[in-house]
């Protein structure tokens, strides 16, 4: 007898949305998370703000559970909601207080009836033919074996899929090099007015798409090219990149860069944590000394872990490509939308490659969440089936939440109708997502 209808492994943006959705449909579900809190990269790695709920034209294309989360945060004064992205990469950005988000996420899961198990690491799987029978979980007290009818892998790193024998890829097709890691951090006591004044006076020193005539409120800054170059910090990056936090005076800095490491290898992760903190200390000093408005700033918080943009990507029934993203691919089994560009931080050097986004949006097909070889497993989030380029767009947080909502719904429908994920009627899944306020076209 299975212990649960659905077990969701990993409590990041995708797992949270999956758990809320599956729980609301009445499935008996459990979400397993290795840390003592939810949020994944948004909380553990201090990735902030969320990009993006809108397409380039300003039309909202991610709604559903993701928007409900934002609404709750706004109601609690823990997010300003969607604001224009002053860097000009995309239309909107959505900052949030990560501490309040941790509580909002677990409260929404509790209300939905999805149980949560913290401090538990999924570290193995037992398969019988194509069927994932049980998972092995290292809990603080003991090692447990848990069974479910359907499993969902939202570990970001495709841990469960890898343990279950699903084929996966890592990095670029040419050399396997993955996007660099970044140790984000929060800074307090920043005055953004002098920053905006400096941008107006020195526009050439900033990203060319910066909204120079719309810097109020200032939500993001990419540049300070000359000051950064002159400081000659030992960091493989060409600019300072930071975003306004959800609270006055707070800024999230996304500038460090750790190249050549594999986020599924403990030695590499250890080296990356240490290198990340080394770079953070250099950047904190640089900000205080050189950047207007940061004179009194201080390091408010380091993350619980270094940020991982890219690790394993499963091989599923469809592999989303960079062309799909740029050309605005539409699929009969689209279950989520995005219009984020292909955003590749150089895996080996200082640069950033941004390829244009689709005119309206592209679709993420259900098939890219169906892993090969295993018949009762779904994935969502940054471990989806995609090429290095396709992944570089679909990995963004609101998109991961939308994918999570789709697999949570799909898994619950499988339990209700006694189907396997591959046997699900996808047009019924799309109808269900529309009913929940989601967008699939
Ligand atoms: C440096 C950096 C900057 C970024 N910038 C932005 C940005 O500005 N805006 C934006 O929207 N997105 C950004 N992203 C992308 C975004 O943060 C991630 O792609 C997104 O969080 C992925 O969501 P996920 O749920 O798939 O995985 P994750 O967020 O990685 O969550 C996975 C969860 O699973 C848990 N887990 C992992 N393995 C196990 C296991 N074996 N057992 C139990 N639990 C496990 C983890 O603890 C975590 O809670 C950035 C990412 C990075 C690293």
Question: Is residue 189 domain-shared with residue 47, that is, in the same domain?
Answer: no
In 3D, which of 13, 12, 46, 11 has the Cα closest to residue 30?
11
pLDDT at 142: 94
Residue 356 lies in a domain: no
Measured distance CA(143)–CA(160) in Å, rounded: 16
Beta strands in 80-216 (DSSP E): 81-84, 92-95, 114-117, 120-128, 131-139, 143-153, 168-170, 185-188
Q: Could you give the number of structural domains in the chain?
A: 2
Q: Is 309 in the pocket of ligand 1 (CB under 6 A)?
A: yes
Question: Is residue 29 domain-shared with residue 154, that is, in the same domain?
Answer: yes
Output the CA 159–ligand 1 centroid distance in Å: 13
Measured distance CA(270)–CA(263) in Å, rounded: 10
Residue 290 lies in a domain: yes
pLDDT at 311: 97
- Per-residue tokens: 176: 């396997």
pLDDT at 326: 94
In 3D, which of 411, 402, 407 has the Cα closest to residue 336?
402
Measured distance CA(285)–CA(269) in Å, rounded: 25
Inter-residue contact 219 to 243 (CB < 8 Å): yes
Question: Is residue 411 domain-shared with residue 335, that is, in the same domain?
Answer: yes
Output the CA 42–ligand 1 centroid distance in Å: 7
Residue 413 to residues 30, 64, 224, 416, 435, Cα–Cα distance (Å):
16, 17, 51, 5, 14
Domain boundary among 301, 330, 348: 301
CATH number, domain of 408, equals 3.50.50.60
pLDDT at 400: 98
Inter-residue contact 377 to 152 (CB < 8 Å): yes
Written in H, E and C, the secondary structure of 35-87 is CCCCCCHHHHCCCCCECCCECCCCCECCCHHHHHHHHHHHHCCCCCEEEECCC
**Between β-strands 251-253 and 240-244, what pairing exists: parallel, antiparallel or unpaired?**
antiparallel
Question: Is residue 198 domain-shared with residue 292, that is, in the same domain?
Answer: yes
Measured distance CA(357)–CA(339) in Å, rounded: 6
pLDDT at 140: 86
Residue 210 lies in a domain: yes
Output the CA 37–ligand 1 centroid distance in Å: 13
pLDDT at 262: 96
Inter-residue contact 305 to 182 (CB < 8 Å): no
Q: Is 51 in the pocket of ligand 1 (CB under 6 A)?
A: yes
Substitution site in 109, 156, 269, 380 for ligand 1 pocket (most atoms within 8 Å of beta carbon): 156
pLDDT at 358: 85
Query: Crossing angle of helices 397-417/64-75, nearest 10°?
Result: 120
Q: For residue 433, how many C-alpha atoms fall within 13 Å in the half-sphere facing its CB?
A: 33
Residue by residue, pLDDT tens for the chain (441 residues) are: 889 999 999 999 999 999 999 999 999 999 999 999 999 999 999 999 999 999 999 999 999 999 999 999 999 999 999 999 999 999 999 999 999 999 999 999 999 999 999 999 999 999 999 999 999 999 988 999 999 999 999 999 999 999 999 999 999 988 999 999 999 999 999 999 999 999 999 999 999 999 999 999 999 999 999 999 999 999 999 999 999 999 999 999 999 999 999 999 999 999 999 999 999 999 999 999 999 999 999 999 999 999 999 999 999 999 999 999 999 999 999 999 999 999 888 888 777 777 778 889 999 999 999 999 999 999 999 999 999 999 999 999 999 999 999 999 999 999 999 999 999 999 999 999 999 999 999
pLDDT at 438: 93
pLDDT at 2: 86
Kindly give, in sequence order, each residue whose CB lies less than 8 Å from that of residue 269, ignoring residues fewer than 6 positions away: 261, 263, 305, 306
- Per-residue tokens: 393: 């767009």
Output the CA 218–ligand 1 centroid distance in Å: 25
Q: Which domain range does residue 216 map to? A: 185-301
Residue 345 lies in a domain: no
Residue 197 lies in a domain: yes
């Amino acid at each position: 007898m299975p212990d649960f209808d659905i077990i969701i492994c990993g409590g990041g943006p995708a797992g949270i949305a999956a758990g809320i959705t599956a729980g609301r449909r009445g499935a008996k579900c459990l979400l397993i998370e290795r840390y003592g809190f939810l949020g994944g990269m948004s909380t553990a790695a201090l990735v902030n703000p969320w990009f993006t709920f809108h397409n380039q034209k300003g039309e909202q294309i991610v709604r559903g559970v993701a928007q409900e989360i934002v609404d709750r945060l706004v109601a609690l004064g823990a997010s300003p909601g969607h604001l224009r992205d002053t860097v000009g990469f995309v239309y909107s950005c959505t900052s949030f207080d990560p501490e309040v988000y941790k509580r909002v996420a677990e409260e929404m899961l509790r209300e939905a009836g999805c149980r949560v198990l913290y401090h538990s690491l999924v570290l193995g799987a037992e398969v019988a033919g194509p069927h994932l029978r049980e998972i092995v979980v290292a809990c603080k007290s003991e090692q447990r074996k848990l069974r479910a009818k359907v499993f969902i892998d939202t570990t970001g790193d495709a841990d469960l899929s890898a343990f279950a024998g699903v084929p996966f890829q890592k990095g670029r097709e040419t050399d396997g090099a993955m996007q660099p890691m970044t140790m984000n951090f929060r800074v307090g006591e920043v005055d953004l007015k002098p920053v905006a004044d400096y941008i107006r006076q020195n526009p050439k020193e900033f990203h060319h798409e910066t909204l120079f005539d719309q810097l109020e409120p200032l939500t993001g800054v990419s540049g300070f090219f000359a000051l950064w170059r002159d400081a000659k910090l030992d960091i493989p990056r060409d600019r300072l990149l930071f975003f306004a936090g959800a609270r006055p005076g707070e800024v999230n800095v996304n500038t460090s860069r750790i190249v050549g490491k594999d986020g599924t290898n403990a030695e590499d992760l250890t080296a990356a944590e240490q290198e990340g903190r080394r770079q953070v200390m250099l950047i904190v000093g640089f900000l205080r000394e050189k950047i207007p408005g940061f004179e009194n700033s201080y390091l408010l918080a380091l993350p619980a872990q270094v940020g991982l943009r890219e690790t394993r990507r499963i091989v599923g029934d469809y592999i989303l490509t960079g062309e799909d993203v740029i050309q605005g691919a539409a699929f009969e089994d689209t279950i989520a939308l995005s219009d984020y560009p292909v955003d590749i931080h150089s895996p080996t050097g200082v640069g950033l490659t941004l390829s244009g986004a689709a005119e309206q949006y592209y679709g993420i097909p259900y098939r890219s969440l169906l892993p090969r070889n295993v018949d009762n497993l779904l994935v969502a989030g940054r471990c989806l089936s995609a090429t290095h380029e396709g992944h570089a767009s679909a990995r963004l947080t609101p998109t991961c939440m939308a994918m999570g909502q789709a697999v949570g719904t799909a898994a619950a429908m499988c339990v209700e109708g006694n189907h396997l994920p591959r046997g699900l009627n996808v047009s019924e899944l799309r109808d269900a997502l529309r009913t929940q306020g989601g967008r699939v076209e």
